[in-house]
A and B are shown apart, each in its own frame.
Chain A
């Protein structure tokens, strides 16, 4: 397999946290490649650094050292995710990455539709927004209808079930058509039925060509992945 097939590459990633005077190493040396269209699952027990790794891959956080790069298309140049300036990382999150969190992290004052539209608002100027608002809204509504939330557009997150909130979070992460969807234990806070629906949604996305990196500690879920890596002692193992 050539390097051009890799969407994201991480090499020698190290990360530690400071807890008062003590230093807690989380990632000691992580090397990773995410292939285009792949559904990669990263396993690990709680506190192993899965979420940290996901945040680093998605330019939400910065490692102590190492290198992360992304190649948007087979013919595209390689772009450094780390090192990169804050401005560049903001831009990458806006254009290329979509995040789904365990606790949904929806904005409580906004409706379902507004939460989804927020992703597009972040990357759009006021004039651009009012110029293309119709098309953006249509895309967002279509996506919400696709995941079964067409009747909940004006509802607030507090009025939704956990499964519905997580689907809204998926819609928010996908509405700008990211290159890579990063899901941090998306079923971790859901009952079995809702969790199954979310996994079905992930499979559908995968089938449609979406590249997905998901972290979980649930061994049951790893069966549906193309590939699974285990994070242990700060390093990834196959």
Chain B
């Protein structure tokens, strides 16, 4: 009983112990914060990376792609483990907007939009599809334009020339659907049209659309030719989905300010690669900006565009064709196959089977698969999405571990501090140790007082530090907002630099528990030297200690 009693009494009676508690507390809080922010960052990156892929991906790491994807998808679609599969083509190109000087180098992804929706979270990344569900297509389309509604009043009496603007009827219907579902645009800075509508207390029109001023002459339904009507205009072209950072500025508050109107004409320049590996003549293709995608990863959103799989395959000469010598067909190729698997299926085991299946084509006698195609097939790798993204995720994972280790090493300072403080207390309490031993206290019992003292310091310090760290992480964005409010220069998380709008603020329960336990162990470790000295003291010597 005396061990517990003296441990608690020393804990609360010796003010110097508060310094040790503070050291443990700060270290625990520091590691909880660092681990949680880094871990949250990693989790977000994983979630975002996952959102663009299937559960399993098939690659051959060649810009020429690989053949027989159609046969493969047909085969595996019969497997009970497979939910869906879709081919993808990757290429590079230049993207420009008509009538602007903007020119970007981009990664071009050729996708089958409907199939991609079934495989990953790409649909959730689209802006216009969210507010005008079903309107986004990579097929042939014209530009939707806002028009004036002559039957409605002017926006304000101050500007009698301004009239209400409206969308084409089908888009208005789609917008009504999303509004009914409670979907509101809070991710975009208001366009001029929306500022006026909001000012007038009217519902805004998410996105940026061109107003049909000149279009009056194109529109046969125009009443007098002076006011354009809402509708679709311009040459019909295939659609393109563009990474959001290519069509909008990201403000410091995380919202986007669009500067490209939906349906605007773009020019995509592609560099097809011949079978021999040389670059053929560039191909320019006009495409309409159908929607924009925001995965949340700046590297992707600032460099990637998405167009129709069949179109890109044709432009890059990867579609099926006749051999020059009429000796057969050249099989179509793709760059990747994304596969969604059914819940509960072991992705690693299935990936192995899928790879074996693809490689089995090499053993079959397929007349259209010649030496060139066989070489492409031999490089096939089937991986889970984590494996395929390892090069992207691993550095962040390593950074998280590294930072946590660095801070853990710094935390050893707390252990040394606890050691010094407890050793000092043992020196101060030498006579007390003699008294306790004279009353029959054992060496182990006296040692236990100081180990218990260290543990008590650890428990109190780690509990307070853990709680503070937890609260800090949970309210980290509010804290930053408060700091920015005091002084804008104190912004530590620049939303225009990092991939994510907010500082990750989730605390993993398992990590939290490990850190708190380590905090307690750290303090116990710090108490061992003091406990050892106390245990070894002879009672008579301790009583004589001055």
Identify the A interface with B (CB < 8 A). 55, 60-61, 86-87, 90-95, 99, 101, 105-110, 114, 118-119, 121-126, 128-129, 172
* A126 contacts B438, C-beta separation under 8 Å: no
With contacts A109-B10, A109-B13, A126-B1 taken as known, whether A61 is within 8 angstroms of B540 at the C-beta atoms is yes
User: What total count of A-B pairs have CB within 8 Å?
Assistant: 68
When distances are taken between beta carbons in the complex, the residues of chain B under 8 Å from A60 are: 437-438, 539-540
Closest B residue to A129 using CB positions: B1
* B540 contacts A94, C-beta separation under 8 Å: no
B192 close to chain A: CB less than 8 A: no
For chain B, what secondary structure do more than half of its interface residues adopt (helix, strand, loop), or is it mixed? Answer: helix
| A128→B4 CA distance, assembly (Å) | 13
Closest A residue to B10 using CB positions: A109
With contacts A91-B440, A101-B543 taken as known, whether A121 is within 8 angstroms of B434 at the C-beta atoms is no
When distances are taken between beta carbons in the complex, the residues of chain A under 8 Å from B177 are: none
B468 close to chain A: CB less than 8 A: no
When distances are taken between beta carbons in the complex, the residues of chain A under 8 Å from B435 are: 105-107
B443 close to chain A: CB less than 8 A: yes
B441 close to chain A: CB less than 8 A: yes
Contact check: which of B2, B14, B539 meets A118 at CB < 8 Å? B2
When distances are taken between beta carbons in the complex, the residues of chain B under 8 Å from A108 are: 432
When distances are taken between beta carbons in the complex, the residues of chain B under 8 Å from A95 are: 440
B538 close to chain A: CB less than 8 A: yes
| A61→B438 CA distance, assembly (Å) | 10
| A109→B5 CA distance, assembly (Å) | 11
CB distance from B426 to the nearest CB of A (A): 15
| A94→B442 CA distance, assembly (Å) | 10
When distances are taken between beta carbons in the complex, the residues of chain B under 8 Å from A124 are: 1
Contact check: which of A99, A109, A123 meets B9 at CB < 8 Å? A109
Chain B 518-546 interface 0/1 with A at a Cβ cutoff of 8 Å (1 = within): 00000000000000000000111001000
When distances are taken between beta carbons in the complex, the residues of chain B under 8 Å from A126 are: 1, 4
* B539 contacts A61, C-beta separation under 8 Å: yes
* A107 contacts B540, C-beta separation under 8 Å: no
With contacts A60-B540, A124-B1 taken as known, whether A105 is within 8 angstroms of B434 at the C-beta atoms is yes
Most buried by B among A86, A118, A124: A118
| A90→B446 CA distance, assembly (Å) | 12
* A121 contacts B2, C-beta separation under 8 Å: yes
B281 close to chain A: CB less than 8 A: no
| A126→B13 CA distance, assembly (Å) | 21
When distances are taken between beta carbons in the complex, the residues of chain A under 8 Å from B434 are: 105
| A110→B6 CA distance, assembly (Å) | 9
| A118→B438 CA distance, assembly (Å) | 11
B431 close to chain A: CB less than 8 A: yes
What 8 A-B pairs have minimum CB-CB distances, sorted nearest first? A94-B440, A129-B1, A121-B2, A93-B440, A121-B1, A109-B13, A61-B540, A122-B439
| A172→B438 CA distance, assembly (Å) | 11
* B439 contacts A93, C-beta separation under 8 Å: yes
B436 close to chain A: CB less than 8 A: yes
